[in-house]
Structure 1
Amino acid sequence: MELTEDIARNFARIALGHVAREYPNKLDHVMASNADAQTPRALHPCFFGSYDWHSCVHGWWTLLTLRRLYPDMPEAADITQSAEATFTTQKLAVEAAYLDRPESRGFERPYGWGWLLFLHHEASRHADCEWAARMGPLARKFATMLRGYLEVLTYPITVGTHFNTAFALVLAREWAVARDPELVDAIDSWSLRVFSDRADYRGWEPGGDEFLSPALMAALLMRRVMPQDEFRAWYRAFMPAGRMEEMFSPADVSDRSDGKIAHLDGLNLSRAWCLREISAGMGEAEGSGPMQEMGRRHLDAAMPHVAGDYMGEHWLASFALLALLAPH
């Protein structure tokens, strides 16, 4: 399956329908007093929509990415107008000030951090607009917080939900390569320290509410950090031959109105993304063909469900876009 303009327009309409939708809303907000009891829009004037802060951030990543890839589609003008009204200096300053609260140390860590940096990276590709320049101070705050976090994070978090370390580092590293060599070094050295000796993976996947594969996310991070030949050797030890087919078949989703169970549609999409990316680092002799086919099956299982129920609709298009843009 390939990204087409029809798919792009559909994804754009979906995201435009939720990035400015304030309710329902699930806040990640620690309150120190009654004064902190505020609405999502008051707390986060840029990212108050899409059910939660991080989904709004990656909803905007979806929109800006589609605007760049299909600048002439009718929805591109709506994206531009909405982004210009959203990414103002004043509103972004409120988002940045929120991080200065002592209670915000763990706000959206690390998932939202990675997505915000990834959004800023995409914004920098839109030379006709000032979004990246305005967003820069907020991105740099998150980069500083991430460096500090890696200094104290002794062990990787390998769950398949928002706390997964590898996922956030994959996104953050792409931002850092272009603008923060110290963060690249911090990510690479940390990743090699905690993952390079991992071998013979035997985790139980999937968990009932996961949208990431702990194994494939670790592998994708190492694919980015290691030279190709070293990665191939690492992957052979990490995921012995035959284990892939045994572990990775598309997940069944029993109830898409349940926000946690609906995560499994995201698991199918994120697995497709990882399988496509990882296979690009493997030769045919290493099984890249079967990996691509496995990725196709996961993508086919989830694409019909990107829209339908708001519990999935407010975020799934971003993961579908990651998968569709991956090399294959």
Structure 2
Amino acid sequence: MKLDRTTAARFAAIALSHVTREYPNKLDHVMDGPGDVASPRALHPAFFGSFDWHSCVHSWWMLLTLRRMYPDMPEAMEIDTLAQHTLTAEALQAELAYAQRPAARSFERPYGWAWLLYLHLEARRHEDRDWAGHISPLAQHFAAGWRDYLATLAGPIRHGAHANTAFALTLTLEWARKRDTDLAELIENQARRFYGSDRDMRFAGTGGDEFLPPLLIEAVLMKRVLPPADFADWFAAFLPKLDRGEPEALFVPVSVTDPSDGKAAHLDGVNLTRAWCWRALDLGGGYAERHLVASLGAVDGHYMGSHWLASFATLAMLKREEAER
């Protein structure tokens, strides 16, 4: 259950097999006319693989993370070689040009934006390569987009899928604290406005196509925004019965009925993201491990799960590595 060399090699091999796999592909693409009909690779020369754009982006985040953690494993050289051919200045300029299209204003907002910023943050740790510099203009574009988006967002989106506000803000805040302190302050203020008065929240059950646990994700964000004493008070009021094992369903891993169904396969993501949250919130009881065990096998199972789940397993396992350092 650790992100050791063996697990890192396993995860890297999975992602290396699909970050340049163009099909099947689910595009988020608005066409203004017949001239906009194009293949995924033509539209997105850097991030055309992994079934969809955001999965390709966060798979690259994972690959670069694993390269940094285990630079001597054979897969690290493969990652480096492929990144040198994929994360080029030309390819990232084309990604920026696509995102700047008026029809792409809401392209991958906010989930893909957050993962791109998280990728940029990781790329900056690889000082021996120019990847961060190539990604930077697109990162700055999405950072500017956050300002526009938060100005128009009347309230947070709370369901457990891609539009979830708290998850995207959590990843973006980590980038902003390093790269854009004004945006970090804006996110902190908005998080307080969106969630600061939440009390005694009810768990309505996990939706059949969700991959995020909204209550726990919100708590992770607020832990990063509030001072420790303030967070302790907020969290005690937010889920007042958590120390008594309620809501009970939040402690029990969910099951996937059909891993070949892309929406049903999302539920493996719930388990892995709950594990990340349990660890990020420093909650014991073995619940993180229980949720990891429930879905770790799916990371190299059917492609509807394997094209993205390893990244979320990596998130959860990184929290453990950080806690043990």
TM-score band (shorter)? Answer: over 0.9
Corresponding residue number in structure 1 for 2:8: 8
Q: 2:216 aligns to what?
A: 216
Q: Give the count of matched residue pairs.
A: 318
SS at match of 2:300: coil
Aligned: 1:289 with 2:292:
no
* SS of corresponding position for 1:194: helix
1:302 and 2:305 correspond: no
The aligned runs of 1:182-201 (5 Å cut-off) are 182-201=182-201
Q: Which residue of 2 aligns with 1:269?
A: 272
Q: CA deviation at 1:246?
A: 4.5
Deviations 1:277-328 (A, max 9, x none): 012xxxxxxxx323xx111110111112211100000000000000000145
SS at match of 1:259: coil
Q: Unpaired segments of 5 or more residues in structure 1?
A: 280-287
Q: Which amino acid aligns with 1:93?
A: Q
Q: Which residue of 2 aligns with 1:205?
A: 205
TM score, norm. by length of structure 2: 0.96
**TM-fit CA distance, 1:244:** 4.4
Whether 1:249 aligns to 2:252 is: yes
Structure 1 distance, partners of 2:248, 2:34, is 53
Cα-Cα RMSD? 0.9
CA contact (8 A) 1:205 1:213 kept: no
The 5 Å alignment of 1:1-328 reads: 1-241=1-241, 242=244, 243-279=246-282, 288-290=283-285, 293-327=286-320, 328=323
Residue number in structure 2 paired with 1:282:
none
CA contact (8 A) 1:44 1:95 kept: yes
| CA displacement, residues 83-138 of structure 1 (integer Å, 9 cap, x when unaligned) | 01111111111100111111101100100000000000000000110100111101
Equivalent pair of 2:11/2:310 in contact (CA under 8 Å): yes
- Asked if the contact 1:45–1:94 (Cα under 8 Å) also holds between the matched residues in 2, the reply is yes
SS in 2 for 1:158: coil
Q: CA shift at 1:205, angstroms?
A: 2.2
Query: In structure 1, how many angstroms separate the alpha carbons of the residues matched to 2:224 and 2:284?
Result: 20
Cα distance in 2 for partners of 1:179, 1:147 equals: 15
| 1:47–1:57 contact (8 Å) kept in structure 2 | yes
**In 1, are the aligned partners of 2:115 and 2:171 still within 8 Å (CA)?**
yes
**Is the 2:203–2:247 contact (alpha carbons within 8 Å) kept by the matching residues of 1?**
no
CA–CA distance in structure 2, aligned partners of residues 109 and 182 of structure 1: 20
Q: Percent identity?
A: 55
Aligned to 1:284: none
Which amino acid in 2 is paired with 1:274?
C
Deviation at residue 154 of structure 1 after TM alignment = 1.3
CA contact (8 A) 1:110 1:168 kept: yes
- Local SS of the residue matching 2:67: helix
Distance 1:246 1:93 in 2: 45
Measure the CA separation in 1 of the matches of 2:310 and 2:277.
16
Which one-letter code corresponds to 2:287 in the other structure?
M
Instruction: Give a deviation string over 1:30-64, Cα, whole Å, max 9, x none.
Output: 00000001000000000000000000000100100
Inter-partner Cα distance in structure 1 for 2:284 and 2:12:
31
Distance 2:203 2:33 in 1: 42
**Alpha-carbon distance in structure 2 between the residues aligned to 1:144 and 1:319:** 26
Post-superposition CA distance 1:60-95 (Å, at most 9, x none): 001000000000000001100100111111111110
Q: Give distance in 2, aligned partners of 1:315 and 1:246.
A: 25
8 Å Cα contact 2:278-2:284 kept in structure 1: no
TM-superposed CA distance for 1:192, in Å, is 0.2
Q: How far apart in 2 are the matches of 1:120 and 1:289?
A: 32
